[in-house]
């Protein structure tokens, strides 16, 4: 019934993913004892943040967590061909990464693509299946005239054809209304008979309402986090939903004292990272009022302020839906939210729409991100690409294998496939981490050596 | 469909009722234009706080607000025989207060009693009806073995017999689950056919879920606040529910730009009173885990700390439900939450249950607060009252008329019935306010006089 996201989306949404492996290990066994179906503890931004900011080995995190779990399965979030990075990787990187993720302890792989282009998931689904993982195909939920129930159900069909074991409605921006959730879940259940999970966010107050109607419509699992890492831009709270749903169905008895002690522990963790805390005390009405997600809105305000153009905010807010329409209604999530946002600002700034376009818009129009949900305005394609033609096939087919080059570049700093992947996925950031680790190991050796030369104390 | 509570429960729940009349007047017309059925702007704690902390005349507030409204009705919250104070007042005070409230601009009077003893509402219902107000009978919602759907429906029947125009499920502690909400609303609608409103709080994440199932079950109105004064210990947000419900029913079109400007204004107001802000960033799990409301929990912790007894917290938390049961399951809201909480602490502290009892528990057992939801443990009645007998009748019947005494005591400081009521209800706090106002008026006169003596400038 419940998947816990405290250790992935929970801290990713509320404290910039700053929870350390130590923070997690201090409580994960207690959480495991409560009997969640799975704990999402890996993937998403956690891989990057471990390496970039925490000086931690993400592979070690999943191994240590896995070793502690007796009841719940480990779950990771995988961005399809983007893996846990921010661009498409070649298939050899995808193959190695997914294999290593499963080998190191991931049992459920939730895979999604921001554009819902199944060709961006194909490879990782295939590999995850081959490795024996439970593969969950996630639908990126968004709202637009083309994103109808039928659209999502058809897309789910493509995932089902690829052999996924379960489906997830992944509403990363908290847009899913209770009405839409009910309709979508019931249609998915009817058509495919697979387990359906719902993942949403409380950002605009919609996520928790969607969970109720999704449950009424037959959803099998909802994603929640413990209250210190729930609500606001994170998931709805476990405590609330356990209490609420236990009035409808028989749930296994829960030890509320244990819940209370987990909550107290997690509050201490949250307080430690106050500097990163979103500190949001109510819903964000902007997603409802202007159809622009809160994070994107804040970025816009910052960007326009820096350029002393804050007076253009309303114009830009009106331009965003137009750009989104021109580009075939991509969901406004990373990276498309930036692509659309920056282009909208350019359109307003220059006074002529698409007089300038960013490199990213050009790549997007060329098809390098995948197939947009709706066709791009043909005039715009012509204006931007000129005589160039958009690519026809699967974006990753245009990428040369990468691993051999990466291996050569990183040399001895990578002592394992896992190390190699840190570099292959995160590039320079990965290399710096590996170098720091190498230098620290030397330092430790020197210390040992000094001690040795000085002789042991008697 | 919507009643807005921003200017009553919203700021009462989140910033200790500190919003001033000026804050309200600056935005009330814009809010009025959105077409709410009613705006709850008066009563509850606002009367007390105006006088005690804001040095404001609450009567002037309702007059000024009423004068600005063209579309929405003004609503107040009345605590039955407690009016807007903290004890039972004699019927002559109730009569004058309700009459003056309506005369000064209140159109809808929502009346409740914490114990759901209809005898504590009778008088105010009768007077409000006589004055031509819309009278709403509110059921104080709580959870206990005796608080079944049948119990609440029967109680509603007593309200209906008294002639109320509509019913409200008033869940002051945010305990109403979606399942209970659906069942209760549908039963109330079926039995009485009157409009049913639902008032809840987002404290534990339950309120917003209850609204959805209440709506599905046919509730006519839900109470919401604008997002800056919504969520946490306040009501769910208007923006969320307007958006969500407009997918199910045709709602009048709304100007989202106007909503946005209201929200921006209210954010500035909220920031002004940061010192009083509850600053709650997620749900409060304690109500779910320990069945003790968050406010009561915080009071306990404070009280036990002061007495260096914090190590007894768990014992006290276990004693609370027992005391509540002994006392016939009163809802844990003001004033019964204090009565139960303090007695539980005493029971733990002394090591012998009810070895000491507070004055309030004695009065409660004597029946002075009204009839408890379930009979009080007879052993306990005997232990506490000895040979004394509990009162049989309506508590207010045991109160002598008060107004003549109050009038004599306050003398010339009260220049109107409204002034008299400030003193009659708030006692010494009211007198101090009236005296300050009198002294200020003298001060102004002196200034004028000085100017006059000095002659007018040419
Ligand atoms: Co998410
Ligand atoms: Co309330």
Please tell me the predicted confidence (pLDDT) of residue B186. 98
pLDDT at A358 over 90: yes
Q: Measured between CB atoms, does A414 come within 8 Å of chain B?
A: no
**Closest to A241 (Cα-Cα) out of A212, A220, A278, A200:** A212
Ligand nearest A3 Cα, by number?
Answer: 1
Whether B299 shows a pLDDT value over 90: the answer reads: no
B301-338 residue pLDDT tens: 888 988 898 899 889 999 999 999 999 999 988 788 88
Radius of gyration of chain A (CA): 23
Chain A CB contacts of B233 under 8 Å are none
CB contact under 8 A, A230 and B282: yes
Show residues of chain B in contact with A285, CB under 8 Å: 227, 237, 239-240, 259-260, 263
pLDDT in tens, A371-415: 999 999 999 999 999 999 999 899 999 999 999 999 999 999 999
Beta strands in B141-231, from DSSP E residues, in sequence order: 166-170, 196-199, 221-224
Q: Do B394 and B122 contact (CB within 8 A), yes or no?
A: yes
User: What is the predicted pLDDT for the residue at B445?
Assistant: 61
Chain A positions touching B230 (Cβ under 8 A) are 282-283
Which of A282, A292, A294, A321 to mutate to probe the B interface, most B CBs <10 Å? Answer: A282
pLDDT-based confidence at residue B296 (cuts at 50, 70, 90): confident
Phi, then psi, of B77 in degrees rounded to 5: -110, 125
pLDDT of residue A293: 77
Q: Closest residue of A to B243, CA-based? A: A288
Closest CA to B286 of B335, B233, B235: B233
Residue range A106-118: average pLDDT? 97
Q: A209 in contact with B at a CB cutoff of 8 Å?
A: yes
Instruction: Test B206 with A244 for CB contact under 8 angstroms.
Output: yes
pLDDT bucket at A453, cuts 50 / 70 / 90:
low
Q: Which B-chain residues 224-263 have CB contacts (< 8 A) with chain A?
A: 227-232, 236-237, 239-241, 243-244, 247-248, 256-257, 259-260, 263
Closest Cα in chain A, distance from residue B22 (Å): 24
User: Does the beta-carbon distance from A290 to B177 stay under 8 Å?
Assistant: no
* Mean pLDDT to the nearest integer, A439-446: 75
Report chain A residues whose CB lies below 8 A from the CB of B243: 177, 204, 206, 288
User: What confidence score (pLDDT) does residue A458 get?
Assistant: 46
Contact between residue B393 and residue B117 where contact means Cβ atoms under 8 Å apart: no
Does the structure show a pLDDT above 90 at B354? yes
Contact B204 A240 (CB under 8 A): yes
pLDDT at B454: 54
Query: How confident is residue A447, by pLDDT bands cut at 50, 70 and 90?
Result: low
Whether the pLDDT of residue A454 is over 60: the answer is no
List C-alpha distances in Å: B316 to B323, B341, B342, B362, B380.
Answer: 10, 8, 10, 20, 19
B376 CA distance to ligand 1 centroid (A)?
50
Say whether A177 and B239 touch across the interface (CB within 8 A): no
Interface test with A, best of B179, B232, B257, B281 (most A CBs within 10 A): B281
Specify the pairing of strand A196-199 against strand A108-111: unpaired
Which residues are CB-neighbours of B340 under 8 A, at least 6 positions away? B320, B323, B324, B327, B330, B332
pLDDT in tens, B398-436: 999 999 999 999 999 999 999 999 999 999 999 999 999
Per CB-CB distance under 8 Å, the chain B contacts of A259 are: 285, 289
CA-CA distance, B71 to B75, in Å (whole number)?
A: 13
CA distance A113 to chain B (A): 27
- Least CB-CB distance to A240: which of B179, B280, B288? B288
Q: Using a CB-CB distance cutoff of 8 angstroms, which residues of chain B are in contact with residue A232?
A: 281-282
The answer to whether the Cβ–Cβ distance between A285 and B260 falls below 8 Å is yes
Average pLDDT of the residues of chain B: 94
pLDDT score, position A396: 96
């Amino acid at each position: 019934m419940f998947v816990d996201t405290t250790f992935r989306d929970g801290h990713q949404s509320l404290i910039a993913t700053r929870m350390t492996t130590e923070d997690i290990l201090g409580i994960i066994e207690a959480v495991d004892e409560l009997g969640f179906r799975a704990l999402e503890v890996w993937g998403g931004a956690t891989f990057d943040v471990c390496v970039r900011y925490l000086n931690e080995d993400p592979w070690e995190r999943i191994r240590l967590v896995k070793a502690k779990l007796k009841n719940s399965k480990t779950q990771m979030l995988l961005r399809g061909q983007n893996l846990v990075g921010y661009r498409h990787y070649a298939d050899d990187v995808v193959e190695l990464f997914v294999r290593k993720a499963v080998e190191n302890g991931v049992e459920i792989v939730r895979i999604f693509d921001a554009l819902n282009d199944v060709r961006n998931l194909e490879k990782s689904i295939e590999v995850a299946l081959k490795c024996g993982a439970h593969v969950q195909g996630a639908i990126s939920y968004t709202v637009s005239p083309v994103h109808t129930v039928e659209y999502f159900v058809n897309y789910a069909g493509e995932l089902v054809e690829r052999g996924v074991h379960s489906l997830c409605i992944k509403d990363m921006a908290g847009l899913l209304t209770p009405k839409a959730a009910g309709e979508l879940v019931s249609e998915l259940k009817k058509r495919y008979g697979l387990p359906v999970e719902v993942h949403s966010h409380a950002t605009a107050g919609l996520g928790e309402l969607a969970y109720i109607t999704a449950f009424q419509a037959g959803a099998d699992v909802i994603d929640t986090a413990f209250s210190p890492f729930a609500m606001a831009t994170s998931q709805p709270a476990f405590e609330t939903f356990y209490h609420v749903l236990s009035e409808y169905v028989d749930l296994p008895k829960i030890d509320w004292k244990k819940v209370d002690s987990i909550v107290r522990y997690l509050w201490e963790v949250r307080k430690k990272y106050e500097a990163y805390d979103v500190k949001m005390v109510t819903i964000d009405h902007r997603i409802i009022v202007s159809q622009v997600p809160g994070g994107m809105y804040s970025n816009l305000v910052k960007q326009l302020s820096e350029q002393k153009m804050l007076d253009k905010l309303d114009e830009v807010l009106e331009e965003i839906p137009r750009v989104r329409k021109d580009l075939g209604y991509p969901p406004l999530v990373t990276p498309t939210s930036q692509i659309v946002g920056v282009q909208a600002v350019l359109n307003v700034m220059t006074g002529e729409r698409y007089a300038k376009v960013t490199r990213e818009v050009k790549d997007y129009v060329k098809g390098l991100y995948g197939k947009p949900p709706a066709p791009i305005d043909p005039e715009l394609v012509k204006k931007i690409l000129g005589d160039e033609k958009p690519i026809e096939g699967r974006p990753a087919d245009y990428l040369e294998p990468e691993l051999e080059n990466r291996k050569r570049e990183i040399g001895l700093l990578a002592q394992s496939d896992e190390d190699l992947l840190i570099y292959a996925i995160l590039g320079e950031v990965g290399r710096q981490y590996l170098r720091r680790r190498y230098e620290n190991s030397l330092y430790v050796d020197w210390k040992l050596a000094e001690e040795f030369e000085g002789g042991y104390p008697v």
